[in-house]
Amino acid sequence: MENWRDPFYEPSCDDADAGNGVAENAVPGRRSPLRADADAKGTRRSYGGHKVLKGAAGQAASSDKPVHNVETSQPNASQNHSRDGITAILDEVEHKRRIQHESQPNTGYSSHGSRPAAVSAHARNEAPVARQPLPTRRPQNGAQQPVQQRAVQNPVSRSAEAPQPKSGKKKRKSNTAVDVLKYFVPWRGDSAFEATRKIIFSTAIVVVGICSFLISDYYIDRYKARKYYEGIQAVIEETRKNRGFSGNNMVEDPQTGEMIEWLEYNDIANRLLSMNPDLVGYVKIDGTEVSYPVVQKKELSDPDLNPNDYYLYRTFKQESSKSGCIFMDYRNRFDEVVEHRRIVENSGNVFIYGHNMNNRTMFGSLRDYVNNPSFYSAHPIVDYFSLYKDYKFKIFAIFVVDGADYTSEYAFDCWNTLDFADEDAFYDYVNEAKKRTMINTNVDVKYGDQLLSLYTCNGLVANAKLILMCREVRAGEDLLEGTENATLNDNVLYPSAYYKYGRPVNYDPKKFVPYGPNA
């Protein structure tokens, strides 16, 4: 490699002269071809070389004149004199460099201030390292990138790059709630298909949520009502163990000596009346879930409202509930007593209402009597305890009527007959019940018997009502007489809605055996 192409090459005195056009071993007094060109520029080159040596040595006097390359009568002596001066300057520079190298081996000497310069490969006597070409960066949008902004990348490791300065615009943090909302609600920029999908999906979620709430509320309400009535049942059972209910309320009148009825509160009244003043009794069927207090709302402040609706969706403690409460028809009269004496005769037919709950609470277990003679034979007795006496009733008819039918030939609005004007009216009524009963029993019914009817809903037809009609057990009568050997009735008169779907009318009046003297 030629010396002038080496970037770390430091010229010697001989090289300097050669650069000025003076060849070694030149003949004195003879002009060489290179000398002719040096005459034109000799002054400038000599002055420039002198300035370089001055800057390197740092001691050349400011009054020193530039060396002019002018021919003299003694050219060899002039050249020797110039070489001696340059050699002295270079020796001094080398001496200072060695001193600097001994004190700071990793730095080189510099005449420009006190800041150390990097030691060149030539000074360290090492082979020069080939320079790597600078990477080029293509400017954006075809613009010329200024040289001052061109960054040199480190070819060794990209991980060592200096961190890039952050942009002045802050990155907006993602909002999780908004992102979730965008998935369900139509948003700006959504396509028609995406918006429709979101509307349908959101509507389905709302519907499912509402249905879930209603279903859970329904079952929670039923559970709470069951637990509440179980507490009341426990109180009644404890009362029955401590004191039995007696039907003998006859005492002797001290003034006349005659036997009169003397009525006073029993333990049921003493335990439950404080919880609800509308209490009128307690109904129970052994072996079933029926065991509840009975209330009666005689009247309301608004005369346009039906008092029977008050406890339709209220519990015994008058709190809102789907289960409601067992209640007596507000038109009925039963054991109304003032000062231990009955003030009015009881209604001939007492109706007690209750819901047909799916969990079998309230009157939900009465469905077991439908078309089930064996169940009837095992549970034919209904106990009713008023606030003064206890009563027992035998079930003699189990039938279904249409609660919305009042005019057809199949209509039987039995709940509107609470008293009987005479014997014929009584037998007409109980025979209508017998025509419709699903189970044939041998329980006889006579005029003057006290009737009790349990009323609830049924799913046989729309607006179907299930009725269990009972009569009071007579004094001295066998409790189970006529309840054994019950059978299914194959000659049933169903409500009109039952025949709307093509079912045949299989009721034959000739096969019917009525109650009463004409039996």
Mean pLDDT of 320-341: 94
3-state DSSP call for residue 295?
strand
Q: What span, in angstroms and rounded, lies between the C-alpha atoms of 379 and 208?
A: 43
Query: CA-CA distance, 359 to 445, in Å (whole number)?
Result: 33
Q: Given this model, what pLDDT does residue 295 score? A: 97
Does 48 have pLDDT greater than 50? no
User: What is the model's pLDDT at position 90?
Assistant: 86
Can you read off the two tokens belonging to residue 35? 């000398």
User: How many whole angstroms separate alpha carbon 37 and alpha carbon 339?
Assistant: 157
What pTM was estimated for this model as a whole? 0.62
- Place 91 in a pLDDT band, splitting at 50, 70 and 90: confident
H/E element, 434: helix 423-436
Residue type, 398: I
Residue found by looking up tokens 């329980």 in the block:
443
Residues 330 and 295: beta-carbon distance below 8 Å: no
For residues 272 and 113, what is the distance between their CA atoms, to the nearest angstrom? 113
**Tens digit of pLDDT for each residue in 400-435?**
999 999 999 999 999 999 999 999 999 999 999 999
CB-based contact 391:366 (threshold 8 Å): no
Q: Are 451 and 352 in contact (CB under 8 A)?
A: no
**What backbone torsions phi and psi does residue 25 show, to the nearest 5 degrees?**
60, 30
Q: Is the pLDDT of residue 323 over 90?
A: yes
User: Residue 61 above 60 pLDDT?
Assistant: no
Q: What's 251-511's CATH class?
A: mainly beta
Task: Name the residue ranges covered by the structural domains of the chain.
Answer: 3-118, 177-242, 251-511
466 φ/ψ sector (left φ>0, alpha ψ -120 to 50, else beta):
beta
Residue recorded with tokens 């305890």 = 385
Rounded Cα gap, residues 336 and 320, in angstroms: 28
